[in-house]
Amino acid sequence: MQLRYNFRVYPTPGQQVALARAFGCARVVYNDALTARETARREGSPYVTDAELSKALTEAKKAPERAWLSDVSSVVLQQALADLNTAYRNFFAVITGKRKGTRVGPPRYRSRRDNRQAIRFTKNARFTVTAGGKLRLPKVGDVKVAWSRELPSEPSSLTIVKDAAGRYFASFVVQVAAEPLPVVGSEVGIDLGLSTFAVLSNGKTIASPRFLRQAERRLRKAQQTLSRKEKGSRNRAKARVRVAKAHARVADMRRDWAHKQSTTVIRENQAVFVEDLCVKGLARGRLAKSVHDAGWGMFVRMLKGKAVRYGRAFSKVDRWFPSTRMCSVCGVVGENKPLHVRTWTCTCGTVHDRDLNAAINILAAGRAESLNACGGAVSLSA
C-alpha cells in the first residue's frame, strides 16, 4: 500500500525564491493549458489532447515571453499538466455518472493568492536525500529537512507544499508492506457525537477535546487585528500570517490527537464499525462550528487506513440505520429522539444511555453486514 510521509523543511531565503518561481511557473502552465481547452470548447474545436498540451509547453519555452519557464525543473511543469488532466477526468466521470462520492465541478484557474501552493517531483526529476540528510531538489538546491523518522522505502514522488502560514513541507509517497497486528478477540462499534467525541460499545468513552473552542479567544483577537489593517499593506500581510498560524496550530493539534486515538482503537480491536455520517450535511446546520471542530471525517479516514495497514476489519453502517431509536435488548424501534434526550426507556423496561445504545446497535449491524458479505443469513428485526 502507498502512504504519505510528511516532513517540515526549512529552505533558505534564496531557496524560497526558487520555490516561489517554481510555484508560479507551474501555475502559469496549468492556467495556459486550461485556457487552451476552454477556448477550444467555446469555438467548437476538437478537444485538446494531453500530447498537444505537452507539445505547446515545449514551444512556449522557446518564446521570449515564456523563456523563464526554463528556469525550473521540466518535471514540475509536466506534473502541472498532469494535475489538469486529472481534474478533467474527474469532472467527466461525474458527468457520465462513473464517479461515486463527492461531485466535482470543472477545473478552475489557479491564483497566486491561493493559501496553498504546491509542486510535485517524480523520479524523473532525480530528487535525492544527501548523505548529510538534506533534500536535493533540481534547480533549488539542498534543503534542510526536519526528519522525524526514516522513510520505509524509496519514494516514488515528492510534493513540496507551502501552506497559508508560510510553512514548507515535503510530502513523500512511499510503498509500504502491511504490518498485521496480533489477533485480538474484541470488536467495537463507535457512536460519534459532540458532547462526547465517541462512545464505544464496550462502555469506553473518548472525551471531545474541542480544540477550536479552546483557541477561540486567541483566534478572535488575531482576526480583529487583521480586520483593522489597511488592505494591501505589509502589516495586513503579517497579520494574515498570524491568523493562519493560529488556525494551523489548532489543525495540527486536532490531527495529532486523532492519530493517537485512532491508533489506540485499531490496536485494541480486531474489527471496528462506525456509522456512515453525512458530515457535510450536518455541517450546514446550527451546529456547524462544533461539527467541523470535532473532525469526524478525518478520524474515520484514519481508522479505515490503519485498519488496512494493520490487518483489522473496518466497515461503515448505513446512515439510515436507526441506531439511536432501536432498543439493543429487544430490537424494537421507537420514535425519534431529540438531541437533548440523553437517556430513554424502552417498552421492554430497559433504560438506555442514548450513545451507548447506539454504539451497541452499530456493532450488531456491522457484524450482521460482515456475515452477510460472507454468505450468512442474518436479520436485525425483532
Strand boundaries in 54-210, DSSP class E = 117-122, 128-129, 135-137, 141-146, 157-162, 168-175, 187-192, 196-200, 205-207
The C-alpha atoms of residue 285 and residue 231 are separated, in whole angstroms, by 32
Residue in the block written with cell 502507498: 2
Q: What does the DSSP 8-state code read for residue 108?
A: -
Q: Within a 10 A sphere around the Cβ of 29, how many other Cβ atoms?
A: 26
Residue 252 designated active-site: no
b/e per residue, 87-125, with b = 16+ CB within 10 A?
Answer: bbebbeebeeeeeeeeeeeebeebeeeeeebbbbbbeeb
Q: Which of 83, 191, 293, 369 is labelled catalytic?
A: 191
Total residues found in the chain within this entry = 382
Q: Which of 275, 293, 318, 369 is labelled catalytic?
A: 275
Q: List own/partner pairs for 67-73 with CB under 8 A and 24 or more apart.
A: 68/21, 68/25, 69/25, 69/28, 69/29, 71/21, 71/25, 71/139, 72/18, 72/21, 72/22, 72/25, 72/26, 72/139, 73/22, 73/121, 73/125, 73/137, 73/138, 73/139
Residue 256 designated active-site: no
Query: Residues with Cβ < 8 Å from 232, sequence gap 6 or more?
Result: none
Q: What is the number of alpha carbons within 13 Å of residue 74 lying toward its C-beta?
A: 10
Q: The dihedral of CA 219, 221, 224, 225: what is its sign?
A: negative
The C-alpha atoms of residue 335 and residue 229 are separated, in whole angstroms, by 53
Residue 191 designated active-site: yes
- Catalytic residue positions? 191, 275, 355
